[in-house]
Amino acid sequence: MDVTHYRTLGRSGLKVSPLTLGAMTFGTDWHYGASPETSKEILAAYLDQGGNMIDTANIYTRGHSEKIIGDYVKESHINRDRLVIATKFFGSMRPGDPNSGGTGRKTIIASLEASLRRLQTDYIDLYWMHAFDPHTPIEETLYTLEKLVQSGKIRYIGVSDTPAWKIAEAQTIAHFRGWPAFIGLQIEYSLLERTVEAELVPMAREMQLGVMPWSPLKQGLLSGKYTRENKDQTLSKRSTNGPVSEKVYDLTEALNNIAANYRVPTSAIALAWVMAREGVTSTIIGARTAEQLQQNLQALSVTLSPQVMAELDALSAPEPVFPYTLLANARHIAQGGATINGQASVLPAILPRKENDHY
């Protein structure tokens, strides 16, 4: 597989690369990331290899990320229509103004117009609701997005960082109103963040959303550079959310060993695991240098064996949550010893032992 093995995103005809170029760190306005010049080198390297999807947001590096992308497209004379440019609304760009952020109609329209100016384009291919806004009815958000699709200013819509129940509600409303539905779901998903497998990933499959994981390397923790030997060193300007646990070191040690066997960077193994998860369409990768981009792209050449997948699954298994702690054994009560769709069951002691053994 390579970056030109395109896939349709969710229930749509939009074709995207299996790895999406994330532009959250284009610009050094957050005191880390890539300079505009380096960002353009990364863009060129990704696009030259056939990658077609670029993901950013209005608030990334305070709007500079969008401008860098817009400048590159204009300066390089690349065919704009070949690209799938995605950006997001939700984040406030005017502190103190309650209507500059969120998912209300006023916010969405203003955010889109500003993003179009920075990106120097007439339309957005995929416009993401960046996160859940409890202050705005979902009908208002969907109706506004429907009008923007009809106007031609956006082509498709997606949703990010939102509870599964709210997304299911939105998809149902869109279906019955005849409005455009979300086609993609962005969620944090990695060997160190698997709680999404409880609700969000199954919901995405049921609602026909293509899953696009972000932070698949967990802010660099899965890149291979964090080991027990250098635990007291500062290895990044970005926060890793506190001290690294022994469980994480066990996982990173295994990743480093697997990477040595496959003769690829450790990051490629962690990315390959995410890419192989059910429901995942395109995984978002970031890079501060062109070299990091090439290391991450090596994940496309990796097919992990069932044994390796099982080892990584065991090392990264999340704690189960209710009701799945209960449902793990509930099938035995429902099936009463029968095998259904390949799932066997045992006869629990609380059930009748034979057909006429009940009141």
pLDDT bin (cut points 50, 70, 90) of residue 180 is very high
Q: Does residue 211 have a pLDDT over 80?
A: yes
Domain assignments of the chain as residue spans, ordered by start: 7-316, 329-359
Distance of CA 13 to the CA centre of its chain: 19
Phi-psi region of 288 (alpha: psi -120 to 50; beta: other; left: phi over 0): alpha
pLDDT of residue 357: 75
pLDDT bin (cut points 50, 70, 90) of residue 5 is very high
pLDDT of residue 353: 80
The residue that leads in pLDDT, 80 or 354, is 80
Structure tokens at 14: 């939009």
Alpha-carbon distance values, 113 to 36, 311, 329 (Å): 23, 48, 52
* Mean per-residue pLDDT, 258-273: 97
**74 Cβ contact partners less than 8 Å away, ≥ 6 residues apart:** 120
pLDDT of residue 234: 59
State what percent of residues in the chain have pLDDT above 70.
Answer: 96
pLDDT of residue 237: 54
CA distance 341 to 336: 14
Burial class (CB in 10 A: 0-12, 13-18, 19+), 296: buried
pLDDT digits (tens, 9 = 90+) for 106-118: 999 999 999 999 9
pLDDT digits (tens, 9 = 90+) for 78-87: 999 999 999 9
Residues belonging to the chain: 359
pLDDT of residue 245: 85
Task: Give 190's DSSP letter.
Answer: B
pLDDT of residue 64: 98
pLDDT of residue 36: 97
Q: Does residue 57 have a pLDDT over 70?
A: yes
Q: Share the mean pLDDT of the chain.
A: 94
**DSSP, residue by residue, 192-251:** TB-GGGTTHHHHHHHTT-EEEEE-TTTTTTTSS---GGGTTS---SS--SSSPPHHHHHH
Q: What are the catalytic residues? A: 60
Q: Does residue 1 have a pLDDT over 60?
A: yes
pLDDT bin (cut points 50, 70, 90) of residue 335 is very high
Q: Does residue 3 have a pLDDT over 80?
A: yes
pLDDT digits (tens, 9 = 90+) for 217-254: 999 999 988 888 777 665 555 555 567 888 899 999 99
Q: Was domain 7-316 assigned CATH 3.20.20.100?
A: yes
pLDDT digits (tens, 9 = 90+) for 128-138: 999 999 999 99
pLDDT of residue 240: 52
Are 277 and 216 contacting, i.e. CB atoms less than 8 angstroms apart?
A: no
pLDDT of residue 155: 98
pLDDT of residue 163: 98
